Structure 1
């Protein structure tokens, strides 16, 4: 079990356990987050599905099949969660300027104003990130999508 701590210029130093985030309602599929086309396609499918159901052409899926679909998605999905709620819980000081991700390869610094939008990927293809994890850090704009920050051991607010 690998954990990450948030320390430094915060009111409460907290410990994060990414292995339990799979049960967190705030998680989302990372690939869908970065895919604007998939988002537009899903929006179209949702509208079309609502129209078909409203017109009575098909009945809505049963709860049992929806649960099965969600379970399958958990087994092969790549999931992430935003850093913002954890920084909020740690109560970052008003004087904080940077969020530093401490890794085996060195430290990576992000301005505190941008840190809340950081994405913490904790599961790839349904598996926890055991080799180079426990999380991979992605910027919300996708600029490091092919080369995320890996082997994060601590998040230090300065």
Structure 2
């Protein structure tokens, strides 16, 4: 259930989507595409960056979630923007594109632009549960153009 980001990056990283259900950056799937044409509010982005910095400097005490919060989480499907993870991997300047590895056969893999990779969403939960059968994640373009037909079975991301 892990997804390595490897290839033409300075820091190869491994994503574990099973823990994203508790990540504050997750987005309900219905909200992810409802405002995909809306330009980001710089004050809102600055506030989010400030909150992430605060959490990095002063990590929250691992407090449990209430039963009500837990039940609420299990009602929704979620996506994770992976921009922060890609930034941490630091794509090399000579990188051209990325390959989504979705099967054993090379011809099954899908090549996307680096811009699409940096701005994508990865769905990791449906109704609060991990995507075990055809996961570990589904790939969605930021604009929602494939929201009815996501790229499924993404197992690895290779930056070329």
Name the TM tier (shorter chain): 0.7 to 0.9
CA distance in 1, matches of 2:21, 2:147: 21
Question: Alpha carbon RMSD of aligned pairs, Å?
Answer: 1.7
Question: Cα offset for 1:70?
Answer: 3.4
Tell me whether 140-149 or 128-137 shows the greater mean CA deviation.
Answer: 140-149
Aligned to 2:78: 79
Q: 1:129-144 to 2 correspondence within 5 Å?
A: 129-144=131-146
Say whether residues 1:112 and 2:111 are aligned partners: no
Query: Which position in structure 1 is the counterpart of 2:93?
Result: 94
Distance 2:19 2:143 in 1: 26
State the TM-score, normalized to the length of structure 1: 0.75
What displacement does 1:35 show? 2.6
Whole-angstrom CA distance in 1 between matches of 2:144 and 2:136: 20
Distance apart, 1:118 and its partner CA? 0.6
- For the residue of structure 2 that corresponds to 1:113, the secondary structure is helix
Counting helix residues as a fraction of each chain, which structure ranks higher? Answer: 1
Dislocated runs of 4+, deviation >4 Å: none
The Cα of 1:68 is off from its aligned counterpart by 5.7
**Structure 1 unaligned runs (5+)?**
40-66
Residues 120 and 137, structure 1, Cα contact 8 Å, conserved in 2: yes
Deviation at 1:69, TM superposition (A): 5.1
Count of residues paired in the alignment: 128
TM-score normalised over the length of structure 2:
0.74
Contact 1:3 1:18 in 2 (8 A): yes
- Separation (CA, whole Å) in 2 of partners of 1:88 and 1:29: 22
Query: Distance in 1 between the 2:32 and 2:68 partners?
Result: 19
| Alignment partner, residue 54 of structure 1 | none
Q: Deviations over 1:48-107 (max 9, x none)?
A: xxxxxxxxxxxxxxxxxxx56533321111011112111111111011111210101711
Structure 2 stretches lacking a partner, 5+ long: 39-65
8 Å contact kept, 1:76–1:127: no
